[in-house]
Amino acid sequence: MVAACGRRSSSVDRPAEPDRPTVSAGMLDGIRVLDLASVGPAARASRWLADYGAEVVKVGPVPAQGGVQITPPFYAYSAGRGTKRVLLDLKAPEGRDAFLALAEHADVVIESFRPGVADRLGVGREAVRDRNPRAVYCSTSGYGQDGPHADWAGHDLDYLAVGGYLHCGGRGPEGKPPLPGATIADSAGGGMHAVIAILAALVRRSATGEGASLDVSVADGVLALMALQVDEHLATGAEPGPGSSLLTGRYACYDTYRAADGRWLAVAAIEPRFWANLCRALDVERWIDHQLDDAVQDEVRADVAAAFATRPRDEWVAELAPADTCVAPVLSVAEVVGDPQFAARGAFAEAVHPTAGRFRQVAPTLAGTIRPEGAVAVPDPGATDTDELLAAAGVGPERCAELRAAGVVA
C-alpha cells in the first residue's frame, strides 16, 4: 500500500464537523495561488486573495527545516481559513521540481525571500516562466529587488521610518516618534500593495494571455501612502512633520481629547460646518471663526479639552457622533469586537480548529468578499494536502511515496 505524501487527521481525533458555509463563488473563484511565505506582507496578500475566493496553497518547508520559517500562532492570518498546505524541501532538486510542477497549474506565485534567493533555489521568476508563461509572479520584499538597500533586513517599523510615516506622526517624550498601533507597512504598504498589483496583472492577462513579474517593495508602498506629504514637499519645498499641517496636529479641530472617565475621543472636524457644529455643542462658539487661526490654537485646544473633560466618553459620543461633528470614540480592541456597527455588517465569524475548538475571528470584510454562514472549519496545522496537490500536478503516487520517504515532501 502506497504511503500518502501528506498527513490527514483521522476521523477519530477530529472534532465534529461544523456547519459548512453556504456561499456563492468568490470573485477569484478558479484562481490558484502558490504562497511561499508564512508571515508578513506576502502572507497578508494571499489571505485577502483567499477571502476573494482564490485557491491558496501555502508552500512551507519540510519538518527537518522547520526553523526556516516563522510559525505564527494558530489564529493568525485567519487560522489558514480557506487555504491548503504543501511541504517541500526546495533545496533538494526533487523538491524544486515538485514546486515547479505545482507552478505549471498556478495563476499566481508569491514569494518573500531576500532578493536573489528564489533564483538560487531554482524557483524564481524565470524558472516559473519557463514552465508557465501565464503565471503572475509576485516578489515581496522590504526595499525591492534592486537599489542600494535591497539586501537590508527590516520589519514594519523600519519601512514606516524610511517612508516618512514615523516622522510625520505625533511625538512622545523628548520628541520620540510613537510606535504605531498596527503593522501598517506590512498590511497596506506590502500586503494590499501586492493584492492590487496581482489583480491588475490578472486583468491584463485576461486580455493578452501574458503573465507578469511584480516587484513589490514594502517601502515603496509606504511612500505611496505618504504621497500627500511628499508631494507637498516636492512641489513647495515645505517640510511636513508633526504639527505642520491640519492632518498632523496643527489645529484643534483635528486631534484627540480625554473625556471625564479617562477614555479618549477623536475629533476630525475638518469642514467649517462640522467645526461650527462641534463648537456650539461644546459651548465654545467664540472659536467658530478661528478654526485655522494659528495665533490662538493653544487657547482653542485648551477650551475644547476642558469641555470634553466634563463628561464621560460615551455620553459625548451619543450626543456628538450623530450630529455632524466628526467625533468618534477611541475604541480598545475589546470594544471594537463589541461595536454594533461592525456586528451589523457581519465583521466577525466563528471558526472551528481541530485542536483549539471554536473561536471567533475577523470575517472576510473587504468589499466584494462573501461572509460565511455558520462556523468555518480551519485546517489542522499538522496536516497537509501534499498528496492531493502533487497528484493534480501529475506526480504519481509511487513517485510521491518515494519523495516522502526521502524527506523531500511531507
- Positions marked catalytic: 155, 186
> Among residues 373, 382, 371, 380, which one has the least CA distance to residue 352?
380
* Maximum alpha-carbon separation in the chain: 86
For residues 260 and 303, give the distance between their C-alpha atoms in angstroms, rounded to a whole number: 14
What are the Cα distances from residue 369, in Å, to 31, 40, 51, 53, 203?
15, 21, 6, 8, 18
The sheet carrying 348-353 orders its strands as: 357-362, 348-353, 376-377
287: helix, strand or coil: helix
- One-letter identity of residue 46: S
Other beta carbons within 10 angstroms of residue 299's beta carbon come to 15
For residues 209 and 294, give the distance between their C-alpha atoms in angstroms, rounded to a whole number: 57
> Among residues 156, 203, 163, which one has the least CA distance to residue 183?
156
164: helix, strand or coil: coil
